[in-house]
Structure 1
Amino acid sequence: MQISYKTVAVSGLALLLSGMTACKSSSGPESVTLSGAGSTFVNPVMSRWTEDFSKVHTNVQINYQSIGSGGGIQQVKAGTVDFGASDAALDDKQLATMSPVIQIPESAGPVCITYNLPELKEPLQLSAGVLADMFLGKIKSWQDAAIAKDNPGVKLPKEPVVIAHRTEGSGTTAIFTTYLSAVSPEWKSKVGANTSVNWPVGLGGKGSEGVTGQIRQTPGAIGYVELTYAQQNKLPVVAMKNEAGKYIAPSTDSTTAAINAFTAQLAQDPRTPIVNPPASAADAYPISGLTFLIIPKDGADKAKRSALKQFIQYVITDGQASAAKLNYAPLPDGVKQYDQQQLNMMTAAGQPIQ
């Protein structure tokens, strides 16, 4: 029997292609790199989440830039990252200016008030009005009578009050100024609540890292950061007086108590602020907030979109245990159910992600 050279060539090509396909399938899943940017508040737990997820999904690398919520929102808007993180949820007006996105609450935590008073031997306590007046620049000395009233019998240091605040657009600032606006009519009318405000007084720092640095190097300084930043830098935190009249320190439990006070409202709209809970939440820390992942609803790269969905699925389920270890409060069941519904709306090239 004669075999033509053409037949041999075709058969050889088929074998070659078959071998290439086998090599590709045996090399494992396609490598994927995801990029995210935004909240410094969530950066400690985001670092843990990305590390733990990539240990299991070895083909996925996730790079997260801790640049502040405002920067993260802008990068999502510009399409330069796969996801953003913000402590300030996008309102309907902001959403109308963007391509369709999904907002998913992924953790909650306290915005703690930390300070640099080495001479103070007892934990500092402050009421809402006193804190507002300090940030308004009305209380200038640590020996002011209003601070002394919150700390009976405590010898307060003879130091000027130095305010430290964020310089860039920040979701942490949004939570903090939303609280001050809720407890101080003067703050609400003169300064207001936003990711960026015109501060009446103070030194600026970029990111929670920058604010922490300002406080560490400035005696008499007071500012606001996420709790893990204060703990890592061995800075004390203020016990804040809540609506029940109790001085409550920031913690996972006291944040959970704040969330529980707003369960019904959060079930209707997870963007509901959880600052200044009612007096019925006796053990709630009053300056807490949810932080959100902001994800484009659709994307062209199916491999990336599938990996991103898997990562977010991990964050809102198994990742919540890691969050609790780093001073973030686990999400309540109602919010988790909302997250799952939103996550299922993600598409790749217009098609559902399996």
Structure 2
Amino acid sequence: MLKMKSILVAAGLAVAALASTAADITGAGATFPYPMYAKWAEAYKAATGVGLNYQSIGSSGGIKQIRAKTVTFGATDAPLPGADLDKDGMVQFPAIVGGTVPVVNLEGFKPGELRITGPVLAEIYMGTITKWSDAKLAALNPGKKLPDQSITVVHRADGSGTTFNFTDYLSAVSKDWADKVGKGAAVKWPAESSVGGKGNEGVAANVNRVKGAVGYVEYAYVKKNNMNFLLLQNAAGKYVAPDDLTFAAAAAGADWFSVPGMGVSMVNAKGNDSWPISTASFILMYKKPGDKAASDEVLKFFDWAFKNGKKMAADLDYVPLPDALTSQIRAKVWSEIK
């Protein structure tokens, strides 16, 4: 009887250990990488039995949740400064690279048919250009009959790393924008026609709903919603289309360890093929996690994704991190998580 009880206790411990191992990973934050994380999570669960419970609530929400310790990792496209990471006792590393894309709702034009420059895009978001027939837009698109239609500016209503990336770019190419609005996860939008949407999903939905609208979303949402995007002039003066190749070109020159937390800005990157609003999405974790086992599961997930998720990333037009960089992340960043 005693022997049987010991066997049952041992079996119970084994089941408990198995249940603990198979517990879902919890994370929250940026909507920018959500399509990628969802794809990775589906494949990872099929391979390991471990699921990912990721709340796509925006970068600011992800930072709040990880600071409140309600999730094991936070995700943000607006990297935290080194001082904040030190204060919070956290590490930060990039997980994926993608691009923010200006999208429009204009009848009669195909995706990539119309062109725009950063300074003109800034004027639209400032509210100084209010019609699609404006002379500055017409000059960039000779031979195109632009409609005499009012422009509705669509932006994020929530604190957003996509907004940080977008306004970082506008600040880099427009002194007027930099002086009057600046960059941040949330800004005061100056255009009178401004309409907010929650998440990349909300911005995409509003642009598709409102005739004459312009907005900005991560490229996976452009593809998913069959959206009309603009060609954008880069730092080399070339008009380029958003895709994994132009995002990769922008990321090629990034010096990841030149700033604390690897929070490198890639906006307006040099190079003939670079997409000007490229960015990385970052992961936040505690150096001394309250639940070490849960933290280890997060690292296992990203380790698996870095090794096995490259094609999935490319299929969604994200840029997977190169092996040399992920090796450095394991050695220099993950080693700090005790």
**Residue of structure 2 in register with 1:350 after alignment:** none
Point out where structure 2 has 5 or more consecutive residues left out of the alignment: none
**Residue of structure 2 in register with 1:229 after alignment:** 221
TM-score, with structure 1 as normaliser: 0.89
Deviation at 1:23, TM superposition (A): 5.9
Q: For 1:213, what is the secondary structure of its paired residue?
A: helix
Deviation at 1:97, TM superposition (A): 4.1
**Residue of structure 2 in register with 1:78 after alignment:** 68
**1:28 and 1:80 mapped to 2: Cα distance?**
22
Deviation at 1:184, TM superposition (A): 0.3
Deviation at 1:205, TM superposition (A): 0.6
**2:48 and 2:109 mapped to 1: Cα distance?**
48
**1:13 and 1:149 mapped to 2: Cα distance?**
89
**2:326 and 2:231 mapped to 1: Cα distance?**
29
Deviation at 1:325, TM superposition (A): 1.2
Deviation at 1:27, TM superposition (A): 8.4
Matched to 1:48, the amino acid is: K
Deviation at 1:72, TM superposition (A): 0.2
1:116 matched to 2:105? The reply is yes
**2:198 and 2:14 mapped to 1: Cα distance?**
46
TM-score, with structure 2 as normaliser: 0.93
Contact between 2:306 and 2:320, CA under 8 Å: does it hold in 1?
A: no
**1:234 and 1:312 mapped to 2: Cα distance?**
29
Point out where structure 1 has 5 or more consecutive residues left out of the alignment: 1-11, 348-354
Q: For 2:265, what is the secondary structure of its paired residue?
A: coil
Cα displacement string for residues 36-69 of structure 1 (whole angstroms, at most 9, x for unaligned residues): 10000011001111111111111x2221000000
1:82–1:28: structure 2 CA closer, same or farther, 3 Å change rule? closer
- Cα RMSD between the aligned structures? 1.7
**2:325 and 2:78 mapped to 1: Cα distance?**
16
**1:184 and 1:334 mapped to 2: Cα distance?**
35
**Residue of structure 1 in register with 2:299 after alignment:** 309
**2:324 and 2:184 mapped to 1: Cα distance?**
27
Matched to 2:231, the amino acid is: A
Cα displacement string for residues 302-349 of structure 1 (whole angstroms, at most 9, x for unaligned residues): 4323322211212332223321111111213453233212123222xx
1:266–1:303: structure 2 CA closer, same or farther, 3 Å change rule? closer
**1:205 and 1:114 mapped to 2: Cα distance?**
14
2:152 to 143, 159, 162: 162
**2:154 and 2:7 mapped to 1: Cα distance?**
64
Contact between 1:102 and 1:295, CA under 8 Å: does it hold in 2?
A: yes
**Residue of structure 2 in register with 1:351 after alignment:** none
2:115 to 125, 129, 135: 125
2:264 to 255, 272, 291: 272
Matched to 2:232, the amino acid is: M
1:179 to 169, 175, 178: 169
**Residue of structure 1 in register with 2:181 after alignment:** 191
**1:19 and 1:332 mapped to 2: Cα distance?**
48
1:43 to 18, 24, 34: 34
**Percent of paired sites with the same residue:** 37
Contact between 1:119 and 1:157, CA under 8 Å: does it hold in 2?
A: no
Q: For 2:51, what is the secondary structure of its paired residue?
A: strand
Matched to 2:177, the amino acid is: W
**2:24 and 2:275 mapped to 1: Cα distance?**
38
Contact between 1:120 and 1:155, CA under 8 Å: does it hold in 2?
A: no
**Residue of structure 1 in register with 2:51 after alignment:** 61
Matched to 2:225, the amino acid is: N
Cα displacement string for residues 18-43 of structure 1 (whole angstroms, at most 9, x for unaligned residues): 34314654787233122110000011
**1:299 and 1:272 mapped to 2: Cα distance?**
25
Deviation at 1:91, TM superposition (A): 0.5
1:249 to 220, 234, 241: 241
2:322 to 332, 337, 344: 332
